[in-house]
Amino acid sequence: MIARAFSALALAAGLTVAACERVDVAVQNEGKNAGGGLTAGSESGGGSSLLAGNGQASAGAPSLIERIADSRRNVAFVGVRRIESHYVESGGNGAAHQLSLRERVSADGHGGFAIEALDVLDPQMSTHDRDLLLSLQSIRQGMNWRYRDFAIQDPELFEQNYTATATGANVVIAGVTCLELRIERIDQSGTLHMVAVDSTTGLVLASRETTLDGQPVSQMVFESLQLAPDLSGVVWHQRTNQEIALPITGDVTAQLGFEPLSPRFLPSGYQLIERARIQHPMDQTPWAKLTYSDGVDSLFFLHGGPLLAGNGVSSGTPAIQADLVVVAEAEPWTVAQGNLHGQRVIAMGKVGESSLLDLLRSAFP
Amino acid sequence: MTRPAASPCDLFRRGLLEQVRPTAASSADAAASPFHCDACRDWFASARRHAAALGGLTRMSVEFDGRVVAELNAGRRQDRAVAALRWMRRREVPLELDVLVRQELRRASLAADFDSGEDAIGQGLPEQSAPAELDRRVAAEFLAAALAGGGRPLKGLPRLSVPAELDARVGADLRRQGLAQDVPLRRWLVAAAALLTVAALGAMWQASERTGRPASRDFRVVRAASLSDLDPMARGLLSAQLGGAMELATAPRAEDRR
């Protein structure tokens, strides 16, 4: 399935690590690559210029990494793309699950976006199940945009934690010649990303994420792309989850009704990038949602405040007892949830169980 | 590029909404009519799909109706009101009020002294006991200290000075009852604390023996049998990270719903 889905791409051919060269994130370093390995196999023949504001290596021009980070907000486009998601459920039967679908994504270049699921490609299912899944995808489009799709969330954190290496291969995606990058954490943890980037706009037109031992996590490839399109018919995404952004520092007790816990231990490279107030989908109680990032991946700590009658974190039957943490894995994700020291807490991230448990422990005095 | 408030597409689609039915006949009628543009044609197909998905959902009639009734009955409303009150934030006392109360107490204290030891302060005021929440917290503190093998060093807590008003009230009360010199209050307190500590330690030792887990404030870790066992909050967020693939594994299949 994986081979079939990506057989149309030249991404696999681009895994010629021998020709790799580190992409310098900072603009001032880009000149060092002139005439270097980036030009090897490049159809444009201008490897160094790809990294410096579309051939203009002027000081202050955004680097390729910055263009990638900004592209989803600054570039208007409409495209149809194919998405694949995979995970392996640890525990239980350890089954592997995958979903492949086609969707249309639109962006207005000012932060507005829409993701409309068009069809389920795999697995086969009844018409009713297919319609239901597509409807659920439309509800989830905000989450997909923010968390599912590959994105550089913070260029500075990215530079601190990741290397981006040009493989030397250029691939054509939806008629656009793209630069292929291998993106991985410097400490060799986490997952590996192979991305194809339109160096002019910074749009990522194909991506493939795998675990370090080669298991597929997600794949995306544009099948068509229009830049500066007519957007008059697009139904833009509107928030549906009542999430309210909170200031990243300072006292937010008044907004939440309780003082949110704040973990003192974080996995290597992660920093707090967002705080928000969300509502529990069942009892409507307020929760604090703390989002951490290493530049690409997200890690979440959710705090539901003190335990009151019957509002504890649940885990099937029986309900979680006090001071008991339930851990679940959907590789590469790990989730830990529990009612600890009278507080409702949930943590999840693409990190190991021990890191997540240490994070939970550190949230309490 | 700005978003149009009401584009021709929007106006056209409003007219189409009436024809969005999860039935084949109305869909065929709408499909036969001319569309404003390709985007509107796609929108209608999508809207029809949503309608079909929603129309095909199995009604959880008995269980759901029961829950609605239970949520709306009078007793439940009271529970909700109590829960809402518990969530309310405690307001800080304005400084001016604090000052006024202190002044009032001081005046009353002086009046009591002037009236030859009459307890004017407490007159007309109901006897206050410690709130249940304080009792609960104190008990939890003792238990936690016992669990941690000493736990929080209570003796290290800073000793707070007694407010002059409290001193005056206690003194007046004791004078009135004539017990100022005879009550071995400290001795009673020491005995009570010792008894409580011994009882708490014994209870914790027994609990530890029964469960076989170490007496610490750490937590136990167990594995979820399935991702569907996760709390709805965790399940929703994880499902978003997995791009919807989780629904395939956790949602009941069509044949199961029938």
Quick check: A247 contacting B, CB < 8 Å?
A: no
Give the whole-angstrom CA distance, residue A364 versus residue A323: 12
Helix, strand, or coil (residue B178) = coil
Helix, strand, or coil (residue B122) = coil
Give the whole-angstrom CA distance, residue A75 versus residue A54: 15
Q: What is the mean pLDDT of chain A?
A: 82
Question: Of A88, A142, A102, nearest to A334 (Cα)?
Answer: A88
Comparison of pLDDT for A232 and B143, the residue scoring more: A232
Average pLDDT over residues A346-360: 94
Comparison of pLDDT for B54 and A354, the residue scoring more: A354
**Has residue A363 got a pLDDT over 80?**
yes
The answer for residues whose C-beta is within 8 angstroms of residue A153's C-beta and 6 or more apart is A69, A273, A293, A295, A296, A298
Give the whole-angstrom CA distance, residue A113 versus residue B99: 56
Q: Which residue of A has its CA nearest to B88?
A: A257
pLDDT at B95: 82
Report the share of chain B in percent with pLDDT over 90. Answer: 0
Average pLDDT over residues A300-310: 87
Please list the alpha-helical segments (H only) found in chain B. 8-17, 24-32, 38-55, 61-72, 74-87, 95-114, 132-147, 164-177, 185-211, 232-241, 245-250, 254-257
Give the whole-angstrom CA distance, residue A328 versus residue A330: 7
Q: At what angle do helices B74-87 and B61-72 cross, to 10 degrees?
A: 70
**Judged by CB atoms within 8 Å, which residues 101-160 of A form the interface with B?**
101, 104, 108-110, 112, 116, 123, 126-129, 131-138, 140, 143-144, 147-148
**C-alpha B129 chain-centroid distance:** 25
pLDDT at A179: 96
Give the whole-angstrom CA distance, residue B119 versus residue B123: 7
**Judged by CB atoms within 8 Å, which residues 322-341 of A form the interface with B?**
323-328, 330, 333, 335-338, 340-341
Quick one: DSSP state of residue B89?
A: P
Query: Residue B254, CB half-sphere, CA atoms under 13 Å: how many?
Result: 12
pLDDT band at B199; cut points 50, 70, 90: confident
Average pLDDT over residues B198-218: 54
Q: How many C-beta atoms lie closer than 10 Å to residue A144's C-beta?
A: 23
pLDDT band at A30; cut points 50, 70, 90: very low
Rg (CA), chain B: 34
Give the whole-angstrom CA distance, residue A101 versus residue B151: 55
Contact (CB<8Å) B7/A233: yes
Give the whole-angstrom CA distance, residue B162 versus residue B171: 12
**Judged by CB atoms within 8 Å, which residues 157-176 of A form the interface with B?**
none
Q: What is the 3-state secondary structure (H, E, C) of A220-265?
A: EEEEEEEECCCCCCCCCCCCCCCCEEECCCCCCHHHHCCCCCCCCC
Comparison of pLDDT for A241 and A134, the residue scoring more: A134
- Write the residue in A95, A126, A133 that is nearest to B247 by C-beta: A133
Q: How far is A328 from chain B (nearest CA, A)?
A: 5
Helix, strand, or coil (residue A103) = strand
The answer for residues whose C-beta is within 8 angstroms of residue B36's C-beta and 6 or more apart is B8, B9, B12, B13
Average pLDDT over residues A196-208: 96
pLDDT at B7: 75
pLDDT at A261: 95
Comparison of pLDDT for A313 and B251, the residue scoring more: A313
Question: Of A311, A338, A309, A312, nearest to A323 (Cα)?
Answer: A338
Contact (CB<8Å) A89/B1: no
pLDDT at A341: 86
Poorest-pLDDT segment among A29-38, A232-241, B106-115, B188-197: A29-38
- Write the residue in A126, A136, A361 that is nearest to B244 by C-beta: A136
Contact (CB<8Å) A325/B88: no
Question: Of A364, A162, A154, A352, nearest to A271 (Cα)?
Answer: A154
pLDDT band at A42; cut points 50, 70, 90: very low
Average pLDDT over residues A2-25: 37
**Has residue B234 got a pLDDT over 80?**
yes
Comparison of pLDDT for B245 and A57, the residue scoring more: B245
**Judged by CB atoms within 8 Å, which residues 33-62 of B form the interface with A?**
37-40, 42-43, 46, 49-50, 52-54, 56-57
pLDDT at B147: 60
Cα dist. A88→A194, A221, A329, B226 in Å?
20, 22, 8, 11
Burial of A354 (0-12, 13-18, 19+ CB in 10 A): exposed
Quick check: A348 contacting B, CB < 8 Å?
A: yes
Poorest-pLDDT segment among A1-5, A57-61, A152-156, B26-30: A1-5
Average pLDDT over residues A311-332: 75
Average pLDDT over residues A41-45: 34
Comparison of pLDDT for A163 and B87, the residue scoring more: A163
Comparison of pLDDT for B197 and B211, the residue scoring more: B197
Poorest-pLDDT segment among A124-133, A193-202, A277-286, B243-252: B243-252
Comparison of pLDDT for B194 and B185, the residue scoring more: B194
**Judged by CB atoms within 8 Å, which residues 21-80 of A form the interface with B?**
76
Give the whole-angstrom CA distance, residue A200 versus residue B210: 67
**Has residue A52 got a pLDDT over 50?**
no
Contact (CB<8Å) B39/A232: yes
- Write the residue in B227, B244, B251 that is nearest to A137 by C-beta: B244
pLDDT band at B42; cut points 50, 70, 90: confident
Report the share of chain A in percent with pLDDT over 90. Answer: 56
Average pLDDT over residues A108-121: 94
Contact (CB<8Å) B237/A348: yes
**Has residue A248 got a pLDDT over 50?**
yes
Give the whole-angstrom CA distance, residue B224 versus residue B99: 55
Mutation target among B16, B208, B226, B241 for the A interface, most CBs of A within 10 A: B241
pLDDT band at A10; cut points 50, 70, 90: very low
**C-alpha B250 chain-centroid distance:** 28
pLDDT at B255: 40
Beta partners for residue A211, in sequence order: A191
Q: Which amino acid is at A300?
A: F
Q: Which residue of A has its CA nearest to B228?
A: A316
Give the whole-angstrom CA distance, residue B127 versus residue A298: 55
**Has residue A88 got a pLDDT over 90?**
no
pLDDT at B159: 67
Quick check: B81 contacting A, CB < 8 Å?
A: no
Quick check: B244 contacting A, CB < 8 Å?
A: yes
Helix, strand, or coil (residue B134) = helix
- Write the residue in B217, B226, B248 that is nearest to A99 by C-beta: B248
**Has residue A26 got a pLDDT over 50?**
no
Q: How far is A162 from chain B (nearest CA, A)?
A: 20
**Has residue A18 got a pLDDT over 50?**
no
Contact (CB<8Å) A95/B229: no
**Has residue B6 got a pLDDT over 80?**
no
Helix (H), strand (E) at residue B222 = strand B220-223
Report pLDDT digits (tens) over A146-193: 889 999 999 999 999 999 999 999 899 999 999 999 999 999 999 999
Q: How many C-beta atoms lie closer than 10 Å to residue A171's C-beta?
A: 22
**Has residue B15 got a pLDDT over 60?**
yes
pLDDT at A80: 97
pLDDT at A362: 93
Report pLDDT digits (tens) over B61-70: 667 777 777 7
Q: How far is A49 from chain B (nearest CA, A)?
A: 29
Helix (H), strand (E) at residue A74 = helix A64-74
**Has residue A59 got a pLDDT over 50?**
yes
Comparison of pLDDT for B150 and A4, the residue scoring more: B150
Which residues from chain B sit within 8 angstroms of residue A298, using beta carbons? 241
Quick check: A192 contacting B, CB < 8 Å?
A: no
Give the number of A-B residue pairs with CB atoms closer than 8 Å.
203
